[in-house]
């Protein structure tokens, strides 16, 4: 491991200023991915900027606009939060699928997103929930939809001097639920295919919101954008579910591996999309 300097900023602005002045610096959040990359020589940072010394980045708050999750919340914090369990239980499903207890006690939701792994567990449900990310730099703040945050394998829209500070999830109607379905190598391993579906129904069973996110089947996590067009404004039946599943299969672009061929992954997108939509409907009572 190379030598580096360790920095503890006290504010987000101070951290951004430092990152702008030191292009080879890297952010330390939980360190679950960073330390592995550093030990194996894939990155050689000049400085590590520890965000854990900045207050307020581990908040979990709910207001009239929705849920706000600080980027430094660990996976364990997501799992144990009564606020998240009530407002977005699909995130509990995703967090419980991540690695092992030691990693869940170390890794953060912000680090999980910024690592840019297309098979990470949080992006599909966040895409399905319509989440947006708050990115801060010395130039100010910008808000990006989570599905536009990812550019390619392990590459995001974050500039070298930007910091992800929070995840914003809009409020859903009372009759809302989600389901997260994965095809795994083994328990708590990176998913081969992951599908998240979130639905809202009005009192007569008409769909008022639909979101579907995919993971592990392209160079980035994907949003099935046509799910809204197909489902919203209708009482969801088998033909609509099948159309969304076929659309999900069409937009994915998986590669083969020792665990599953590209063709098998593509077919499992269809199967798991159907399963996730049925699961969400069952939770609502639709």
Q: What is the pLDDT of residues 176-194, one digit of tens each?
A: 999 999 998 766 568 899 9
For residue 13, the number of C-alpha atoms closer than 13 Å in the C-beta half-sphere is 2
User: Do residues 154 and 116 make contact, with C-beta atoms less than 8 angstroms apart?
Assistant: yes
Architecture label for domain 5-53: 2-Layer Sandwich (3.30)
To which CATH superfamily is domain 176-284 assigned? CO dehydrogenase flavoprotein, C-terminal domain (3.30.390.50)
Q: What is the pLDDT of residues 22-76, one digit of tens each?
A: 988 888 887 777 777 777 777 788 888 999 999 999 999 999 899 999 999 999 9
Please give the share of the chain, as a percent, with pLDDT higher than 70. 97
Those residues whose C-beta lies under 8 Å from the C-beta of residue 140, and which sit 6 or more positions away, are none
Topology of domain 61-104+116-170 in CATH is 3.30.465
DSSP per position, 66-113: EEEEETT-BHHHHHH-HHHHHH-HHHHHHHHTSS-HHHHTT-BHHHHH
Q: Is the pTM of this model over 0.85?
A: yes
């Amino acid at each position: 491991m190379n030598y580096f300097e360790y920095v503890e900023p006290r504010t987000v602005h101070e951290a951004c200023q430092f990152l702008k002045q030191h292009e080879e610096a890297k952010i330390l959040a939980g360190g679950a991915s960073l330390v592995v990359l550093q030990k194996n020589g894939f990155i050689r940072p000049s400085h590590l900027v520890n965000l854990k010394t900045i207050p307020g980045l581990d908040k979990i708050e709910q207001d009239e606009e929705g849920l706000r999750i600080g980027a430094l919340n660990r996976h364990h914090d997501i799992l144990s939060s009564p606020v998240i369990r009530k407002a977005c239980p699909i995130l509990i499903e995703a967090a419980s699928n991540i690695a092992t207890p030691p990693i869940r006690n170390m890794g953060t939701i912000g680090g999980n997103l910024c690592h840019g792994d297309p098979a990470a567990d949080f992006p599909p449900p966040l895409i399905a929930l319509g989440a947006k990310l708050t990115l801060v730099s010395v130039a100010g703040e910008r808000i990006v939809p989570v599905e536009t945050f990812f550019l390619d394998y392990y590459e995001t829209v974050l500039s070298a001097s930007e910091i992800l500070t929070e995840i914003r999830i809009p409020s859903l109607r009372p009759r809302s639920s989600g389901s997260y379905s994965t095809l795994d190598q083994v328990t708590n391993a990176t998913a081969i295919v992951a599908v998240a579906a979130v639905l809202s129904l009005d009192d007569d069973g008409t769909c008022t919101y639909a979101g579907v996110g995919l993971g592990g089947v392209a160079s980035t996590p994907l949003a099935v954008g046509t799910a809204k067009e197909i489902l919203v404004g209708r009482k969801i039946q088998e033909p609509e579910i099948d159309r969304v599943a076929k659309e999900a299969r069409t937009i994915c672009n998986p590669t083969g591996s020792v665990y599953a061929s590209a063709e098998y992954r593509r077919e499992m997108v269809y199967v798991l999309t159907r399963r996730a939509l049925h699961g969400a409907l069952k939770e609502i009572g639709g």
